[in-house]
A = this chain, B = another copy of it.
Amino acid sequence: MEEFSLITSLVKRLPAPGADVLIGIGDDAAAVRTSGQPLIMSTDTMVEGVHFLPSTITDYNLGYKSLAVSVSDIAAMGGKPLYALVSLAISSDWNEERLGKLYDGFAEVTARFGCHVVGGDVVSTTGPMVITTTVIGEADKPITRRGAQPGDVIFVTGRLGGSSAGLETLMQQSAISPTGQAALVAKHQRPEPRVSAGQFFAEVGVHALNDISDGLASELNEIAAQSQVRCVIEAARIPLQPEVKEQARSRQADPLSYALYGGEDYELVGAVPARTFAVLLANAQLLRVPITQIGRCETGDGVVMRHVDGRLEVIEPKGYNHFARASRAGSR
């Protein structure tokens, strides 16, 4: 494949950029108009055999997911994604047809979340496929991990644990219903970056926010460490995707471990003053995502979980790597 003709054929898969793109793909660099608001930028790299396997994700969904995870980072800052750059180190088993499907997946993300791919690079590699996505957005008041205060409500969006349970389903036989399996696999392969919710959280003054890429345990520990607070969560309040419970039952596993240590749910977890939390709840329907209080910030440090029997468990910042070594090749 010749670089220029390949790029031309792939770029055709993408929606035409808007008027804010002054110079798109095809020059030394892209040029875009911005409003002068603070820029938000993030980059993610996914490697075949480390972060994904052809057996656990289609090329289309891989394109969707690899760009969606960078969009999720922008959402986690309360930002609006605007532009994306995509770099591919292409292994010999990826032909133009497969790359086209990958780009169709990128195109879905850009269309749904209102951003544009304005550049990138395609090179060949003798090793596994490597996909690097960079997303640039704007946020008037970016939300960090360090603003949580004692007394704040800790909340999450959506239902947790589905992604790692979905990966488990893909890597091993699953005993649950085909519909249940499909729901879990969908959560794993097609995460939903919470872009509108994140922007709303920034507007109303959420104190701290993370997207759940490495599991709730890891993300909450980051908020606790950066904000210098103690996060106390209630086991009974953690909202699990219903099929996760089914999967855990069939495997005699702890359903909460999927939410705490599984990762890749790409929901948001944040800390917010109680009064403002009421505003979030009142708008959950408008934002089309469940919002659930799972605990409170206190003075102190670390993360603890109160079990239904009152027992307190210290939640270490262990993430996916420690959760399921056997299926490490399938996720991140």
Q: Which residues of A approach B to under 8 Å, CB–CB?
A: 22-23, 26-36, 38-47, 49-51, 73-74, 76-77, 79, 83, 85, 87-89, 91, 118-121, 123-128, 130, 132, 134, 136-137, 139, 142, 144-145, 209-211, 226, 332
Residue of B nearest to A70 (CB): B29
- Nearest B residue to A46 via CB reads B123
**Bound Cα distance from A217 to B51, whole angstroms:** 40
- Of A28, A35, A73, A145, chain B has the most CB atoms within 10 Å of the CB of A28
Min CB distance A46 to B, Å, is 7
Which of A30, A36, A119: most chain B Cβ within 10 A?
A30
Whether the Cβ atoms of A29 and B118 lie closer than 8 Å is no
Beta-carbon contact of B132 and A87 below 8 Å? yes
| Nearest opposing residue in chain B for A33, CB measure | B38
Contacts of A46 in B (CB 8 A): 123
Complex-state Cα separation, A123 to B321, whole angstroms? 12
Give every chain B residue within 8 A of A41 (Cβ-Cβ). 29-30, 32, 83, 85, 118-119, 136
Q: Which residues of B contact A45 (CB under 8 A)?
A: 87-89, 121, 123, 130, 132
Interface of A is mostly: strand
**Docked CA distance A1–B134 (Å):** 24
B29 touches A77 (CB 8 A): yes
Cross-chain pairs A/B with CB under 8 angstroms, 10 sampled: A27-B145, A30-B42, A31-B142, A33-B39, A44-B121, A45-B87, A45-B121, A46-B123, A47-B123, A49-B125
CB nearest to A77 among chain B residues: B29
Contacts of A31 in B (CB 8 A): 38-40, 77, 79, 139, 142
Question: Which among B34, B83, B119, B125 is the interface contact of A130 at CB below 8 angstroms?
Answer: B125
Cβ of A332 to closest chain B Cβ, rounded Å: 7
Which residues of B are found within 8 Å of A132, using beta-carbon distances? 43, 45, 87, 121, 130, 132
Q: Which residues of B contact A119 (CB under 8 A)?
A: 41-43
Measured between beta carbons, the chain B residues less than 8 angstroms from A209 are: 28
A81–chain B nearest beta-carbon distance, Å: 10
Q: Is the CB of B32 within 8 A of A34?
A: no
A38: which B residues are within 8 A, CB to CB? 22, 31-34
- Inter-chain contact A50/B85, CB cutoff 8 Å: no
A74 to B121, CA, bound (A): 15
